[in-house]
Structure 1
């Protein structure tokens, strides 16, 4: 079973959207910026929990 099959449906839809419907670098960079913000926030939360 590959990693893609284990991901939630919403993530799969996001990846499919990026592959098929993003036709500009600007749009792709905007999506990347948003995803990085949320990923970094979650990483910080998990690190704080681990440190407690």
Structure 2
């Protein structure tokens, strides 16, 4: 799933298993608000 998100949407996530949450994805909020909003819009388009 992570590769697809990056390749198709340009959104990077990592598996949550490395952070004690297997079966989940981890999203970083370390971006300016415009970039973050664009990433969320891409996720919403893909999954809603």
| Structure index of larger Rg | 1
Of the two structures, which has the highest relative contact order with CA contacts closer than 8 Å and spacing of 6 or more?
Answer: 2
Larger strand proportion of the pair:
2
What TM-score do you get using the length of structure 2 for normalisation? 0.45
What TM-score do you get using the length of structure 1 for normalisation? 0.43
